[in-house]
Structure 1
Amino acid sequence: MKINRLLFLFLLISCFASSQQKNLNCLDFSKGEFRNIDTNTGSISIIIRNGEKQLEISNGTESYKKVRWLDDCSYVLYFPSKEARKDKFKKFINENGGITVTMERTDGKTLYYKTSYNDGKQIITSEGRLVKLSNKASFN
């Protein structure tokens, strides 16, 4: 009888522990589909990232970026060359170091980050968070 109680208690604790949300790390955000929330503007977009490439969908508009990883928790975004040739601002961003993203911390499936880039007059910074939706990371 005592063994049955211990077994029941063990199973109950095991079920509770496995239902707890896993705290993801930086590498978990290098690939997948995410909801991006810009803390400064409140804008929401979907990001699909597959290591070195990223697609951002915002208000029905798609924007591709190249990702250059600096380490596990920081990377630089660049606009594709073809796109940058058509847009002086994007070309300027690319020529002046891209958009640096630093992953600050994770909480469950949410990653908090900071971005910065040089707009020619000053360093522009922003904050936001990525919420991991899935490990799916395919796009054209």
Structure 2
Amino acid sequence: MKKTTLLLFTALLIGLNISAQELTCTDFKIGKFYIPKIKEAAKYKVVSNDSISEFAAERDSTIKKYIVIREKGTQTEWKNGIENGNPEYEIIEWIDDCTYRLTFDSSKMVLDETKKWVNENNGIIVSKTKLEGKCLFYNSTMTTNDGQKISGNGVICKE
């Protein structure tokens, strides 16, 4: 009896392990996601000619997380929940399964000076650094027209 119970338990564990699949970059192309608030995401590095500097961006303390809805080639970001305030609309140009270019969609919203500047400098390249659980960790890099390279790290998680 003990052997039968142990055998059934082992078979169940193997079956659960086989059915639990690891997420891939493709799982982050379409769907509902969230960007948690983490300290590391507020730090940026700027490489310009022969100098390297770092800075931390000011974060709005009222924002606990961003909700992201991705459809084919587009992304909509909501602060603290869907239908909460004004969303940001972005265009995603996939370079490969784990890398994309992000620009702001001026046909769906009025761009402030920062968003215009990002678009004028060919957007932000986002590439996977690792997958862990339901989250994709990434590095985002923008190379400006005058040669500066601005980069930072972030995370996006599947709901």
Q: Would you say same fold, with TM above 0.5?
A: yes
Match 1:105 to one of 120, 130, 147 = 130
Task: Work out the CA distance in 2 between the residues paired with 1:83 and 1:90.
Answer: 13
What is the aligned-residue identity percentage?
34
Q: Which has the larger share of helix?
A: 1
CA distance in 2, matches of 1:13, 1:63: 43
What is the identity, as a one-letter code, of the residue corresponding to 1:17? N
For the pair 1:123 / 2:141, whether they are aligned, the reply is no
Cα distance change of structure 1 residues 9 and 94 upon mapping to structure 2, 3 Å threshold: same
Which deviates more, 101-110 or 122-131? 122-131
Alignment match, 2:22: 23
- 2:72 aligned residue: 51
Matches within 5 A, 1:1-140: 4=4, 7-17=7-17, 22-37=21-36, 39-41=40-42, 44-59=65-80, 60-82=85-107, 86-118=111-143, 122-133=148-159
Shift of 1:116: 1.5
Structure 1 stretch displaced more, 11-20 or 32-41: 11-20
Counting matched residue pairs gives 132
Q: What CA distance in whole angstroms lies between the structure 2 residues aligned with 1:83 and 1:50?
A: 15
Question: What secondary structure sits across from 2:87 in the alignment?
Answer: strand
* Cα drift, residue 2 of structure 1: 8.9
- In structure 2, what is the equivalent of residue 136 of structure 1? none
Distance 1:119 1:57 in 2: 27
Q: Deviations over 1:101-123 (max 9, x none)?
A: 01111112111001122466732
The residue number in structure 2 matching 1:137 is: none
Tell me the TM-score normalised to structure 1 length: 0.75
Structure 2 contact 91–104 (Cα < 8 Å) conserved: yes
CA distance in 2, matches of 1:9, 1:83: 54
What is the CA–CA distance in structure 2 between the aligned matches of 1:83 and 1:19, rounded to whole Å?
A: 41
CA deviations over 1:93-138 (Å, ceiling 9, x no partner): 21211011011111121110011224667322111111100xxxxx
RMSD: 2.9
* Residues 114, 128 of structure 1: 8 Å contact kept: yes
Deviation at 1:86, TM superposition (A): 4.6
CA distance in 2, matches of 1:31, 1:74: 14
Greater mean alpha carbon deviation, residues 56-65 or residues 107-116? 56-65
